[in-house]
Amino acid sequence: MHPIKTRLNNHSPSPPASPRIRHSRSKTSARFTHQSLPHRFAWILLSLLIHRQGLFLFVPLLYFSGMVFYSGTMQFDVVSGGIQRSMAVGSVYRSPELYVKVRGDMDADNSTADAISTVWKRAKGAGWKPCISKSSLGLPESNGYIYVEANGGLNQQRTSICNAVAVAGYLNATLVIPNFHFHSIWRDPSKFSDIYDEDFFVKTLENDVRVVNTIPGYLMERFDHNMSNVFNFKIKAWAPIRFYRDTVLPRLLEEKVIRISPFANRLSFDAPPEVQRLRCLANYEALRFSDPIYRMAETLVSRMKERSVNNGGKYISVHLRFEEDMIAFSCCVYDGGRKELEDMIAARERGWKGKFTKPGRILQPGVNRVNGKCPLTPLEVGLMLRGMGFDRSTSIFLASGHIYNSERYMTPLLEMFPLLQTKEMLASAEELAPFKNYSSRMAAIDYTVCLHSEVFVTTQGGNFPHFLLGHRRYMYNGHAKTIRPDKRKLALYFDNPNIGWRTFKRHMLGMRAHSDAKGVELKRPNDSIYSFPCPNCMCHTNKTEDSKTSAP
């Protein structure tokens, strides 16, 4: 019996669920049926004070009662069963009113400086550079084959690929090129080689992880050449690497072939240095877009720079998530019209059948907006950027899917930024034809154009901005050069009917300055290495810059 060869010891990354209706089962509830809520709490408070133990509860109860009295002065909206029942704080889309009010002062404001040139002066020479070591030694005999199914969109699949490389390398296994799971939302049948340069991927990893396209036939004979017959591990999300060592490896040694499906987010961000090194190698070095995508994206980058000649070839990129399915999932209300309501109900049923119509499910668009969960509209993005100092002469690349009701919602953004471009505006229909019906390929083009922009602006969470944050840090000395607005604060500013242009602009400049002040950010234990490549994927070369780094 041959000894087991491993590399385990060779080396010392949605909107909140809507609250459900809760029914009180207290026997004393009947006596309060005809009393107001404040009266009920006052009665409870006095009852508790009768008992000596109630004295210890007096202060917190007094505070809580005060909050209840305050809440009684506010209105909350509820949309149940797809029908809006009342208006509420934050549920009314008031940004168009703000635009009408401040537009004159905004257009007359000549104090705007060259925002692109003044953002992140510290980014150069931040003292970090790419630093990923590759093995120069041969690989020991493989312990078996790992087959994973990468689910989700472009960048969720990217997470799966990088994590699969790390797991396979750690277990000294051979990785089969990941299979992309077809999803009902993205509806993209693309394979790995359609999105990424497969040969380059295999070659880059050749001394660190074996990667093959198929499992040998003699092994698949045991499973009737049917992958569904192969044992499938159902692994919980964010599993630690020791789970793979203690649970997956023994089965791999026994079966020689295992399957893991689904595989997105199945590996903890907190992992040993060797696992992080393999993640870095896969994400920043091995994954390169396929030649058709790469050539198209580079062409659009060149065209953006040509159209930005008045800004020294510099442009900013904005990732806008105002597609119909995104709005539907957020459960937010915009114009509140009948058509929007019907469109959103239909979109929710198409994508998440029954999820939003379960008995007792309450949709709270106002609460979602106040909590910063609503997608920003094109108008809101325009107001924010103008307030941050980007004027009409700024060149913008807009990365987005199909904007909901685009003719209506895009008009004010184009009024504020007439030099705005999208991939559809930069390229002809014939040029985009090979990519048009494939959401992941289109997203890959957007990703590349955003990657090379001078400033990146993210307006919504998700894998796309998270990967771009890390990739831009990897390219720009550890600095993301990214604006991440505080959407909770934005909701308050957009909802304020009394705010003027000067006050609004002061708040926006402060928000931009906060992004600037972040500077270089170091990865904390539970942070994603795909967003924070320092220090696992980068080397600190200038110790005098230590004081400039921060890890909030």
pLDDT in tens, 338-367: 999 999 999 999 889 889 988 988 889 999
pTM of the predicted model, to two decimals? 0.82
Which residue, chain included where needed, has tokens 């990088």? Answer: 162
CB 258, CB 147: distance < 8 Å: yes
What is the b/e burial string over 267-287, where b = at least 16 CB atoms within 10 angstroms of the residue's CB? bbbbbeebbbbbbbbbbbbbb
User: Which tokens in the block code for residue 249?
Assistant: 């490896």
Angstrom distance (rounded) from CA 127 to CA 135 = 25
Torsions phi, psi for 125 (to 5 deg):
65, 35
Q: Give pLDDT tens digits for 256-315.
A: 999 999 898 999 999 999 999 999 999 999 999 999 999 999 999 999 999 999 999 999
Chain Cα centroid distance, residue 269: 16
Find, among 188, 189, 206, the residue nearest to 198 by Cα. Answer: 206
CB 536, CB 133: distance < 8 Å: no
User: Which tokens in the block code for residue 110?
Assistant: 């000549």
**Between helices 501-518 and 95-108, what is the axis angle to 10°?**
90
Angstrom distance (rounded) from CA 64 to CA 70 = 10
Chain Cα centroid distance, residue 87: 30
pLDDT by residue for the chain (552 residues), tens only, comes to 444 455 544 443 333 443 333 333 443 444 444 455 555 655 565 555 545 444 444 444 444 444 433 333 344 444 444 444 445 557 689 999 999 999 999 999 987 656 776 665 545 545 899 999 999 888 999 999 999 999 889 999 999 999 999 999 999 999 999 999 877 566 789 999 999 999 999 999 999 999 999 999 999 999 999 999 999 999 999 999 999 999 999 999 999 999 999 898 999 999 999 999 999 999 999 999 999 999 999 999 999 999 999 999 999 999 999 999 999 999 999 987 899 999 999 999 988 988 998 898 888 999 999 999 999 999 999 999 999 999 999 999 999 999 999 999 999 999 999 999 999 999 999 999 999 999 999 999 999 999 999 999 999 989 999 999 999 999 999 988 899 999 999 999 999 988 999 999 999 999 999 887 677 889 999 999 999 999 999 998 765 444 444 443
Angstrom distance (rounded) from CA 217 to CA 115 = 60
User: Which tokens in the block code for residue 487?
Assistant: 């959407």
Annotated domain spans of the chain = 94-126+291-332+365-540, 145-285
Angstrom distance (rounded) from CA 480 to CA 469 = 5
Angstrom distance (rounded) from CA 317 to CA 395 = 9
3-state secondary structure of 112: coil
3-state secondary structure of 174: strand
Q: Give pLDDT tens digits for 139-194.
A: 999 999 999 999 889 999 999 999 999 999 999 999 999 999 877 566 789 999 99
CB atoms closer than 10 angstroms to residue 309 = 10
